[in-house]
């Protein structure tokens, strides 16, 4: 059986489908680029759910930190070591590393798929094309910096750190798997 489009001359086929030009692949989807304003996202409940999401990593690293702090600290009371270690951990590790991770991810919105930003298009986007649009940030508006915003940014940053750790861990596990197989594990 002959395909209807195969029997038509090439010129008629192109004129019937106006979106295809002579140099384009008919199966290639064209993405419309829309300029947009990037406004810093505000997490729900002041970042509480970001802290919950990042808590396994923060608690594990914190537990390790407090134990190492108590081991090397000359104070004989563990409860005082744990209290001091926790305060130092919160203000010298959790807050700065989370804040820096947030700043790194939000500094490159096109690389990280606009993570941490609310996208407000500057042109109208029709509902039928909303999934084929690429939003190009032309301007960024960060929220005012205050104590609550710093902790929200740190919470978002720790979620980014945890995601990066999971992805890097998945890649590192591939050679470990093959190495374990070479030594006879899993056979």
**pLDDT at 106 exceeding the cut of 70:** yes
Q: Which of 37, 19, 29 is nearest to 123 (CA)?
A: 37
State the pTM of this model.
Answer: 0.73
Pair 78, 70: CB distance under 8 Å: yes
Pair 56, 163: CB distance under 8 Å: no
Locate 117 and state its tokens: 């930003």
Percent of the chain exceeding pLDDT 70 equals 83
- Sketch the domain layout of the chain as residue ranges: 34-182
**pLDDT at 123 exceeding the cut of 70:** yes
Pair 147, 133: CB distance under 8 Å: no
CA distance 81 to 164: 31
Average pLDDT, the chain: 84
- Which one has a higher pLDDT value, 98 or 31? 98
Beta bridge partners of 141: 39
Pair 138, 36: CB distance under 8 Å: yes
Close Cβ partners of 64 (under 8 Å, ≥ 6 residues apart): none
Q: What is the model's pLDDT at position 16?
A: 39
Positive or negative torsion for Cα 10, 12, 14, 17: negative
Confidence of residue 28 (pLDDT cuts 50, 70, 90): low
| Residue 170 CB burial class (10 angstroms; 0-12, 13-18, ≥19) | exposed
User: Tell me: the pLDDT tens digits for 13-23?
Assistant: 444 334 444 45
User: Tell me: the pLDDT tens digits for 139-167?
Assistant: 899 999 999 999 999 999 999 999 999 99
């Amino acid at each position: 059986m002959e395909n209807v489009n195969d029997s038509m001359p090439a010129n008629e086929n192109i004129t019937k489908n106006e979106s295809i030009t002579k140099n384009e692949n008919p199966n290639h989807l064209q993405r419309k680029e829309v300029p947009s304003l990037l406004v810093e996202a505000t997490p729900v409940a002041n970042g509480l759910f970001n802290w919950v999401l990042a808590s396994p990593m923060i608690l594990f690293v914190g537990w390790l930190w407090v134990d190492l702090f108590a081991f090397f600290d000359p104070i004989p009371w563990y409860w005082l070591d744990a209290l001091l270690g926790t305060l130092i951990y919160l203000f010298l590790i959790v807050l700065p590393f989370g804040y820096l991770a947030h700043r790194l991810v939000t500094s490159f919105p096109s690389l990280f798929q606009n993570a941490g930003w609310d996208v407000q298009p500057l042109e109208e986007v029709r509902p039928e094309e909303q999934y084929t649009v690429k939003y190009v940030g032309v301007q960024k508006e960060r929220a005012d910096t205050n104590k609550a915003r710093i902790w929200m940014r740190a919470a978002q940053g720790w979620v980014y750190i945890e995601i990066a750790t999971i992805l890097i861990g998945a890649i590192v596990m591939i050679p470990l798997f093959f190495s374990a197989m070479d030594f006879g594990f899993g056979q």
